[in-house]
Structure 1
Amino acid sequence: MSERCFSTDDQQLLTDILRHRRDVRGNNFRPEPIPEPVLEQILQAATLAPSVGFSQPWEFVQVADPALRAQVAESFDAANREARERFSGERGELYARLKLEGIHEAPVNLAVFYRASEGPVLGQTAMAEAGEYSVVCAVQNMWLMARALNVGMGWVSILDPRRVAEILQAPADRKLVAYLCLGYVHRFDDRPELERLEWEQRRALATVCHTDGYR
């Protein structure tokens, strides 16, 4: 039984890491590689995430081949063109100026997959998506560990997950949850880019908390 307690300094350090985590884009990655021990620390952090029924349903594929990255980038370009058409006016102009991925620039590309269990999973029988939520928890662990190691990480969500799974020859029972770009950066911004550009404003805690339902 662990009796480890954390100090107020520990708590403040975690808060600082949470506050300074950033979604890093392709215009910010530096070219030098991430040392293998550092990348292993980030992946080990993923495996410490909570998972429904202790199923640990995550798998990771490092995408190093430039030809494979180019195919993933093509999927991004197609999805990005479609997404851009959904925004008009000032938002459309701002969207067109954003650099939303770092597939070619980032030293490390990681595809994170969900692998469904063959049999029933404790805690997942009524909420099947809890398995995929577990993989998202692993991604968050990676993001925080990466930031603690002064490594930037970006989540590329503007792509076709089925196409990426096909490019990487994933088995039929695997589902892409996240495509991540990692590398050292030129800078970590004081605020998230989309907040700084006023794409959205941060919501106050009081506006998202309710008691005994939505009343």
Structure 2
Amino acid sequence: MTEHCYSDDERATVYRVIRERRDTRHFHPGAIDPAVLQRLLEAARLAPSVGYMQPWRFIRITDLELRRAIHALVRAECEATAAACGSRADEVRRLKLEGILECGELLVAALTEGRERYILGRRTLPEMDLCSVACAIQNLWLAARAEGLGMGWVSLFEPDELAQLLSLPKGARPVAVLCLGHVEAFYPEPLLETVGWDTRRSVEETVFENGWGRPAKLVP
């Protein structure tokens, strides 16, 4: 324990929101309070970024026809993904993978153009721009859960087609369609775990020590 530590209750809340965050697919109608949406986007803005490049841009989709066009792109990719999954194709088709038409707010997260000018922290790992956007999305996700809102990250779309639909400048790239909205309840566990798609790995499976595959000794 250090002097910089939060109180027991504050720490418990931080860990709770991390534990209870869900990739949400089911929403019920209702607009999001503009003040709440502002807080969520502020949380995203405060994310860390490599070289302080802040490469994220969020496009709020308020036009219904545009929302429907995005939905059509996603549904087409859902089918293409199912076909690519071979023996699990029918499983994929049964999954609910998006809530684009039901959610209260729809955002598209994109990488901004001109990222090549940012070198610090990216000379050998240029993909750190994408990692930075992911940090902003995670901030927004955790803040949404704290506000009692669900959020789903949809990555099933053809990036060039979505970029054209949204008139992105050359070099910019969409990386996520984000569904935000009110929910009846939060899933007790990740939805893909509930339906038997996969299970969450344990700490022991995902943390090594002093080299790949060497079990970490975390508990004395």
TM-score range, shorter chain: over 0.9
Give the deviation of 1:84 after TM superposition.
1.1
- Following the alignment from structure 2 to structure 1, what is the Cα–Cα distance between the partners of residues 109 and 163? 10
Q: Deviations over 1:91-142 (max 9, x none)?
A: 4333222111111111111011111436233212221111111000000000
| 1:97 alignment counterpart | 94
Stretch moving more, 58-67 or 114-123: 114-123
| 1:131 alignment counterpart | 129
Other structure's SS at 1:85 match? helix
Give the deviation of 1:7 after TM superposition.
1.4
Map 1:1-16 to 2 at 5 A. 5-16=5-16
Map 1:51-90 to 2 at 5 A. 51-89=49-87
| 2:18 alignment counterpart | 18
- Following the alignment from structure 2 to structure 1, what is the Cα–Cα distance between the partners of residues 4 and 202? 32
Map 1:202-213 to 2 at 5 A. 202-213=200-211
Whether the 8 Å CA contact 1:106–1:183 is kept in 2: the answer is: yes
Stretch moving more, 53-62 or 140-149: 53-62
Percent same amino acid at aligned positions? 39
RMSD of aligned alpha carbons: 1.5
| 1:161 alignment counterpart | 159
- Following the alignment from structure 1 to structure 2, what is the Cα–Cα distance between the partners of residues 92 and 168? 30
Stretch moving more, 147-156 or 122-131: 122-131
Spell out structure 1 runs of 4+ moving beyond 6 A: none
- Following the alignment from structure 1 to structure 2, what is the Cα–Cα distance between the partners of residues 63 and 104? 11
Query: In structure 2, what residue type is equivalent to 1:93?
Result: D
- Following the alignment from structure 1 to structure 2, what is the Cα–Cα distance between the partners of residues 189 and 65? 29
- Following the alignment from structure 1 to structure 2, what is the Cα–Cα distance between the partners of residues 163 and 87? 22
The number of residue pairs the alignment matches comes to 210
Stretch moving more, 138-147 or 127-136: 127-136
> What TM-score results when the alignment is normalised by the length of structure 1?
0.92
- Following the alignment from structure 2 to structure 1, what is the Cα–Cα distance between the partners of residues 139 and 179? 15
| 2:218 alignment counterpart | none
> What TM-score results when the alignment is normalised by the length of structure 2?
0.90
Give unmatched runs, 5+ long, in structure 1: none
- Following the alignment from structure 2 to structure 1, what is the Cα–Cα distance between the partners of residues 186 and 210? 39
Whether the 8 Å CA contact 1:55–1:121 is kept in 2: the answer is: no
Whether the 8 Å CA contact 1:32–1:107 is kept in 2: the answer is: yes
Give the deviation of 1:88 after TM superposition.
4.7
Other structure's SS at 1:40 match? helix
